Copies of this chain bind each other. A is one copy, B any other.
Amino acid sequence: MELDLARQLSVTGQSKILLLVMDGLGGLPHPKTGRTELETAQTPNLDALAAESACGFTMPVALGVTPGSGPGHLALFGYDPLKYNIGRGALEAAGVDFDLQPQDVAARGNFCTVDGKGRVTDRRAGRITSERCGELCAELRQIALEGVEVFVEPVREHRFVLVLRGEGLSDAVGDTDPQQVGVEPPAPQPTALEGEGTAQLVALFVEEARRILADQGPANMLLLRGFARRPDWPSMWEVFKLRAAAVAHYPMYRGLAKLVGMEALPAGPGIEDSIATVKENWDRFDYFFVHYKYTDTAGEDRDFERKVAKLEEVDAAIPSLAALKADVLMVTGDHSTPAVQGVHSWHPVPFLMRAPWTRADACDAFNEVALEKGSLGTFPAVESLPLAMAHAGRLTKYGA
């Protein structure tokens, strides 16, 4: 649904919508058993929920397209990820609660290791501790650039955000991250004419940083990518008339949610922590996005068994989630991360929606085979919120 139509049809109400995102949810069959992670896991609670839900698969972006975390989530929030695209720098800045201003330019940084000839040997500097990252960021804040303010904010482990603030800055600056080892980081190049001045400032920053970090091994250099401004998007309140909250342990998902106007509620790492946070804030919001990260992490680590275990961990929490009695409860993922592939993939993502007014559905288990019998088929993820709003009594009739 186009946002203009959503704006026109949405109405306020008393109903509650709860979206549980298991990051990287969908999977593929294990070569030995022929069963996917979800088919392998014992998930009696999710299966029971599926039996009383409308079921199917979401397509995050398009057939064959593997989404990053940004597009995967934006689609679930009702924003077409092909229209609402965000640069990595802005996403990371939002994720550490940095109050990015309209004229700011942000980039995602990695502390990395280079050899004596300046060639990258480890793009993540051995994943230094978050504490060490904070110390190094403090060092880099010494760097002064004429005419602009410089912010260097630690994220987690080797990751940080660089923000430049001043007049006339541009985000038309190319990455200094070569995305491979064995080569020197390229100098920042303007990607359009207006990026020339900013690229020069970034080059000065990188040179100063190289000098400061030289003796700090393993983190003796840095890489920058995804120069971007803060996107200026309408909020979920403006478009969908939802007071929306994000409950996420990882900063990036809170940051993403804030870009569409959600209030970010921090939570502990476990699914029960998130459910407790939802419960505490139940009356203040109409919509809750709950993010669970570890299914994706296990998939990316190619750890089939751990992904199965994480699915079972979420399954065990389903009764307390269901006990909140949201009018519409959706369980899905932002994309698939099959453990046999070890990366995000393009495969459609398992989806269920328990809500009033759903039709009967032959699907009675929450896995990639059973969901083929679902009534929703494979549909664009961006349509899931409008569908939920309809079931929540929050969309009026279109046309006379």
Identify the A interface with B (CB < 8 A).
Answer: 1-2, 5, 9, 28-29, 34, 36, 61-71, 81-82, 85-88, 91, 108, 226, 338, 341, 344-347, 357, 359-362, 368-369, 372, 375, 377-379, 383, 386-391, 395-400
A250 to chain B, nearest CB (A): 14
Q: How far is the CA of A34 from the CA of B52 in the complex (A)?
A: 12
Cβ-defined partner of A70 (8 Å) among B70, B346, B400 = B400
- Chain B residues whose C-beta falls within 8 Å of the C-beta of A61 in the assembled complex: 398-399
Interface contact B28-A357, CB-CB below 8 Å:
yes
Interface contact B397-A359, CB-CB below 8 Å:
no
Interface contact A397-B68, CB-CB below 8 Å:
yes
Given the known interface contacts A34-B360, A390-B346, the answer about A400 and B64 at a Cβ–Cβ threshold of 8 Å is: no
Cβ-defined partner of A62 (8 Å) among B1, B63, B85, B338 = B1
Interface contact A28-B85, CB-CB below 8 Å:
no
Cβ-defined partner of A64 (8 Å) among B67, B69, B360, B389 = B389
- Chain B residues whose C-beta falls within 8 Å of the C-beta of A64 in the assembled complex: 1, 383, 386-391, 395
Given the known interface contacts A62-B386, A400-B88, the answer about A338 and B357 at a Cβ–Cβ threshold of 8 Å is: yes
Interface contact A383-B63, CB-CB below 8 Å:
yes
Q: How far is the CA of A219 from the CA of B346 in the complex (A)?
A: 56
- Chain B residues whose C-beta falls within 8 Å of the C-beta of A398 in the assembled complex: 61, 65-68, 71, 81
Interface contact A377-B378, CB-CB below 8 Å:
yes
Q: Could you list 23 examples of A-B contacts with CB < 8 Å?
A: A1-B65, A2-B82, A28-B357, A29-B359, A62-B383, A65-B395, A66-B397, A66-B398, A67-B398, A68-B400, A69-B399, A70-B400, A81-B398, A86-B399, A86-B400, A91-B400, A108-B400, A226-B400, A341-B357, A347-B359, A360-B368, A360-B369, A372-B375
- Chain B residues whose C-beta falls within 8 Å of the C-beta of A82 in the assembled complex: 2, 5
Cβ-defined partner of A390 (8 Å) among B9, B65, B86, B91 = B65
Interface contact A29-B360, CB-CB below 8 Å:
yes
Residue with the highest number of chain B CB atoms closer than 10 Å, among A347, A360, A383: A360
- Chain B residues whose C-beta falls within 8 Å of the C-beta of A66 in the assembled complex: 390, 395-398
A184 to chain B, nearest CB (A): 23
A212 to chain B, nearest CB (A): 27
